[in-house]
Chain A
Amino acid sequence: MISVNGESMKWHPGMTVREILDAKHYTFPMIAVWINGTPVPRDRFDETEVPDGANVQAVHMIGGG
């Protein structure tokens, strides 16, 4: 299992950041992702794998409408 923004999510080997975002329907382009406190560059979401037990923060950067 991993945690995404505080919610549990089932993990599988080879799971990427992109898969998580797709599963959560996170389509917002200005999103920032941290895995266990380490930021992941946006252009590496497709290939970056997430380890089991990871704490993932998927932060939508907009601060105002």
Chain B
Amino acid sequence: MKEMKILSEWAYSPCEPYRGYTGKTLYVNVGNLKFAEKNVTEEMKEKFVGGRGFGLKLLWDAVRDETRWNDPENEIVISGGPLCGITQYPGSGKYYAVFISPLTDQTYDSNSGGHFAPLLKFAGWDALEIQGKAERDVIVFIDGDEGKVQVLESPFRDINAHSVTEELHERFAASEKDKRFISVIATGKGAENTYLGCLNTSFYDARRGIVRLKQAGRGGGGTVLRDKKIAAIVVRKHGWSGMSNNPADPETIQRLGLKLHKEIYELDDKQSRMRRVGTVHLNEIMNDYHLLPVHNYKFGQHPEAKNIHSTIYEKMFTQGIPDGCWYGCTMACSKAIDGFTLKTGPWKGRTVSIDGPEYETCAALGSNIGVFDPEWTAEAAFYADFYGIDTISLGTSLAFVCECYELGYLNEETTEGLKLGFGKAEALMELIHRIGEGRGEFAALVGKGIRRMKAAFAERFGAPREILEAIGMEGQGIEVSEYVSKESVAQWGGYFLTLKGPQHDEAWLIFMDMVNRQLPTFEDKAEALHYFPNFRLWFSLAGLCKLPWNDIEPEDNLTKYPPQEAAKVPEHVQNYVDLFNAMTGKKIDKAELILQSERVYNFQRVFQLRLGKGTRKDHSIPLRAISPVFKDEWEARRDYYDEQLRSSGVDPQGLSTEEKIKRLQELRLAQWEKLVDAVYRRRGWDKNGIPTVEKLEELGMDFESVVAVVKKHTRKEDQWEEDL
């Protein structure tokens, strides 16, 4: 690689972490080439904790109410959190990237494993805040060894995530072994050409001798990165250890880690088999329970799902290698397929290692588009990373396109020569390449996501808007992740009453609600939609991965606790409380853990409001997320749906299938409105979904600027009757 020209350089004195924090955040403006160091105050730690909380706080201070995703003042803020970087407890290497999303026009947070977040902290920074737009492609290099930050001219002409990360590891490492002290965030050409750009985050896999990638996939963070003309962000830091966070009580962290390692070693093979297959253990389970999205979420099951069974992926994944994406993660779910020869695209004929695919990708670039071929899915997953595109939004968008084609709203002419449809693997792969490489108007449109496709298909091709709205699986502008939600009222909320759109990281309540029947009333569902989103948000504050919470459970979890409590895996929740206290020296309990999250949850809600979103109208839900839309969906489970009508007091006898669908939709839309009301009340929001000033005061989040936003948008008619 040719020498990279230094455009700007800034020296700093790296602060060592103390009790999980370095106390400093780094600001880099790639537009005016300015750098700054900001202090982390005690109030910031108290109110925002770290990770996503820090990201939201810094972004709030950086943008205007009118800022949009491609304005220079939009930022990408990357932060781990106080627990990020420990090596004793599994899943402790995550960062959370916060930015205004091109898909949703509001704040988004997306997380990734890999080594970037720990190395950033050990280089002296609790968060990295990047603002501005460069004039030409640049690389941001944070050198924690030398205490300097550089903006370098990028040498890359052809941006793809694999080449960029590999070459930058090569460039900044002194030797092969030295590559593990470097991590890169990069994306690809597809991030420039779409709104679906992901952030690929590297880690050096010493056993394979290769650089591997994890993704902060969702929300278009990669698109923001490329809009700023950043080719990559690199961090380098030597000389750290698992104790570099200088925790208050290292023995407790050690003890808790050993306990969980033991559970994983002894129980994982009997439980989720994460160490063997990662999250693809869900493939067959979701199919068994009618939850696997098939053909744009029309169905939840398919006979060919046997072809994507986890046992098939188990054979494809290289076994016997501890696949953690950060040191000390014995859950080791970052599986990889080695020695895979690509059949298509710019790297056709090359033999590569493929990261994953994980469950979401198997469904998005698999069952949801009617392709039940793991080799095809693996290749599509590779190229999604290569081009820097989120596999979930890509797959869900393609599923929408397939259905529109089969409904006759698209044809070979409008798709510029592609005969699309469910299962049309060759044409779909060609479309992925066109999207990634930016070839053709149709591919460009698909890459803007479903919300924009709906408008364009209606306007340009005369497709009926009402149907497009019913079957276009997005919320708040972002595509639904890969679960069929229509039979679980609580999961309608888990997907569509969320801060940023239908991603499954807030709440996954389908089993609790639909199968276990633990949430019979709207109040029960609202309580779950208070607890789980707040509990799960906490991982994003602390810098942790969610998977070791409930993809492994203590053997006595089910005998020690009643069913309702057992679902929370109380012992693991206590581990997190103890870990946080052992790191920071604070004394929180389980209730305060939820309070920490609730503060940030409500702050982010107000942030969306500030950006012109964040009200009830933004919590809309497509019909297919709550009900069958077409006859074939009903007929596939006729007895089940007839019984659904009967149990709601409607006799299906004598009704046509179309009439039955209409009645069920009416019933479920009424349920949806009840759910929204119940959830808003439980969250302390008004009828319009806005946190009340009283709620902000109760949480201690009544900052002047936050209260001003709420007051500006609050209407008297949105108060609950009992509050008047």
Contact = CB atoms under 8 A, between A and B. Distances in A.
A63 interface: yes
Given A61-B557, A63-B512, A64-B507, A32 B517 contact: no
Contact of B566 (A5, A25, A28, A32): A32
Contacts of B549: 63-64
B278 to A, nearest CB: 14
Interface residues of A, number: 23
Interface string A46-58: 0000000000011
Given A39-B559, A61-B566, 12 more contacts: A5-B516, A42-B270, A42-B558, A57-B563, A58-B516, A59-B558, A59-B563, A59-B566, A60-B516, A62-B567, A64-B549, A65-B508
B546 interface: yes
Contacts of B271: 29-30
B516 A30 contact: no
Contacts of B559: 39, 41
B288 A62 contact: no
A42 B566 CA distance: 15
Contacts of B12: none
Interface in B620-659: none
A35 to B, nearest CB: 12
Interface string B270-281: 111000000000
Contact of A61 (B270, B481, B505, B558): B558
Contact of A27 (B285, B504, B505, B566): B285
B284 A59 contact: no
Going nearest first, the 4 A-B pairs with the smallest beta carbon separation are A65-B508, A32-B558, A60-B511, A65-B504
B516 A59 contact: yes
Interface of B: 270-272, 282, 284-285, 288-289, 481, 483, 504-505, 507-508, 511-512, 515-518, 520, 532, 536, 546, 549-550, 553, 557-559, 563, 566-569
Nearest to A33: B558
Contacts of A64: 504-505, 507-508, 532, 536, 546, 549-550
A13 interface: no
B567 A5 contact: no
Nearest to B483: A65
B454 to A, nearest CB: 25
18 contacts: A5-B515, A5-B517, A25-B288, A25-B289, A28-B511, A29-B271, A32-B563, A39-B558, A59-B563, A60-B515, A61-B511, A61-B550, A61-B553, A61-B567, A62-B550, A63-B512, A63-B532, A65-B508
A29 B558 contact: no
A18 to B, nearest CB: 16
Interface in A3-30: 5-7, 25-30
Contacts of B282: 65
B508 to A, nearest CB: 3
Of listed A7, A30, A41, A65, residue having the most chain B CB within 10 A: A65
A34 B289 CA distance: 21
A29 B511 CA distance: 13
A25 B558 CA distance: 21
A52 B567 CA distance: 27
Interface of A: 5-7, 25-30, 32, 34, 39, 41-42, 57-65
A64 B546 CA distance: 9
Contacts of A29: 270-272
A28 B285 contact: yes
A7 B514 CA distance: 12
Contacts of B289: 25, 28
Nearest to A62: B511
B516 A63 contact: no
A27 B511 CA distance: 12
Most buried by B among A6, A25, A57, A64: A64
Nearest to B287: A27
A30 B553 contact: yes
A33 to B, nearest CB: 8
A16 B553 CA distance: 25
A28 B518 CA distance: 17
B640 to A, nearest CB: 12
A63 B550 contact: yes
Contacts of A58: 515-516
Contacts of B568: 63
Contacts of A57: 516, 563
